[in-house]
Structure 1
């Protein structure tokens, strides 16, 4: 599902440090097997295969490196947010390549990676140079349950990158998921969705329609809704990954938190963490921004941005995917 960009040399000049040992061949995990495959051209680069599917690609000497094209596209969206550390929720942790990149670009960010497989999370801590807790916490849990349990307005970025085979689990798509993601984002925060689809992109169009319903009828018109993919995918020529994005608008009322004293203490810490939580006046990212379109066009594999009216046209008359809200229980 995830394609790589063109091979390139590391962006970091740091000395090459590799783990003393990495496993050779598949290793048992709770949900099947994991395998670390080295790049024959750049031995410091590895790809984590989960149950035979490429899941994460990392450069062990360069934490800022992103190999998969959809992750490079996601990084272009994150760059629109104000400077400073971020609070990020990763639904689908695997090797935590994107979390590693965020910490490299925005030191001091507080991130939570959620994955269903507890053994996999133990192993990636051993194998890869991941930020330590509390900078990056890894939790073994169902992604939908973790999202439902998150506090209101507690994250600057939510990333959905969860697959069972070539599909996203049903409880992590549609209006129910989108409503929960909207709830946990701060005003100005952004949801990033990895959507794999094939012609005629029916699933992607319905997911965009679902985001529009959850993030408000004016989301597209205000530049708070977007879809990105390679031109060949958007033209319906092949199967591939699209990145869908939605920005939470300004709330009519301040968010409420019923988590009690402990939750209030954590919420106060959250408010002091990250550029979106410390601004008196929130500046909403505009996904129609020419800088974003230029950044996407100049990637190693150029991508096309559909934002504003173009995002609405992409969804067209597609009906939202009506799904239940994930249950925290």
Structure 2
């Protein structure tokens, strides 16, 4: 079982084999599972919220078309592997604050041959200044851990900057983990929707009652939300799936939905 001390977070990272799936591994930090990677089949995304993010990436452009993707928070690079497997020749950039974590993952869970991924060791916000505007088909922010998330990554100016980095028709995807009554998630919906032209929230249907802990994925564009995306994402799951837009999303954000 490989382990590595992460000075920045003051905890050990470890990689374990998945006892139930050959060729798959689990990354844990401080004893808590963080990422799941299937090296044998990188198209398989195990975590429910990551699967929803992957489903949005699937509909952004025609199948197989290479993308430019920005990952803010690298983890075990599960989505980097997914994009390479489903859209070879994609150009990806991954930003990670913890050098030891990135080195640890690349040493023990190397990326597939041919993967084009640039790595930046920096804070998610600080890294944006050197990136081209209107250049990314998908931007994935996966650094939140509930209401104790870094404040500067939860505010309107940061979301505005992310949207400015999106190409026409490109999408900003934000994973928000929260506990009941989901006050942090609702606030993030309001903040992101205030900067975007089109916004949706994806999750298991029960999450939007506000009675359960878990993850909600926010998706935002500089253009109106495509209605056909809602149909495709509802069909893709994981089930039971909900995709909130328009008045339903407004009601959830205000705390009156569910």
Return the TM-score normalized by structure 1.
0.71
Q: Which has the higher contact order (CA 8 A, sep 6+)?
A: 1
Q: Do residues 292 (structure 1) and 230 (structure 2) align?
A: no
Matches within 5 A, 1:173-322: 173-215=154-196, 219=197, 224-249=198-223, 285-286=226-227, 289-296=230-237, 299=238, 301-316=239-254
Between Structure 1 and Structure 2, the one with more helix by share is 2
Please state whether the residue corresponding to 1:246 is helix, strand or coil: strand
Query: Contact 2:59–2:229 at 8 Å: present in 1 too?
Result: no
Query: Contact 1:287–1:307 at 8 Å: present in 2 too?
Result: no
Between Structure 1 and Structure 2, the one with more strand by share is 2
- Provide the aligned length of Structure 1 versus Structure 2: 252
Q: Which runs of 5+ in 1 are unaligned?
A: 1-23, 251-283, 319-329
Could you tell me how far 1:98 is from its partner in structure 2? 0.9
Could you tell me how far 1:180 is from its partner in structure 2? 0.9
Matches within 5 A, 1:15-30: 24=1, 26-30=3-7
Per-residue displacement from partner, 1:176-198 (whole Å, max 9, x unpaired)?
A: 22111111111211010000112
Query: How far, CA to CA, are the matches of 1:196 and 1:107 in structure 2?
Result: 30
Per-residue displacement from partner, 1:242-299 (whole Å, max 9, x unpaired)?
A: 001101229xxxxxxxxxxxxxxxxxxxxxxxxxxxxxxxxx7446531222212xx2
Per-residue displacement from partner, 1:5-44 (whole Å, max 9, x unpaired)?
A: xxxxxxxxxxxxxxxxxxx153223423210011112242
Query: How far, CA to CA, are the matches of 1:304 and 1:134 in structure 2?
Result: 33
Could you tell me how far 1:200 is from its partner in structure 2? 1.8
Query: Contact 2:145–2:178 at 8 Å: present in 1 too?
Result: no
Matches within 5 A, 1:98-247: 98-131=79-112, 135-163=116-144, 167-215=148-196, 219=197, 224-247=198-221
- Aligned residues: CA RMSD: 2.2
Query: How far, CA to CA, are the matches of 2:18 and 2:195 in structure 1?
Result: 41
Query: Contact 1:158–1:191 at 8 Å: present in 2 too?
Result: yes
Per-residue displacement from partner, 1:212-236 (whole Å, max 9, x unpaired)?
A: 2111xxx3xxxx2101121222112
Could you tell me how far 1:307 is from its partner in structure 2? 1.7
Q: Which runs of 5+ in 2 are unaligned?
A: none
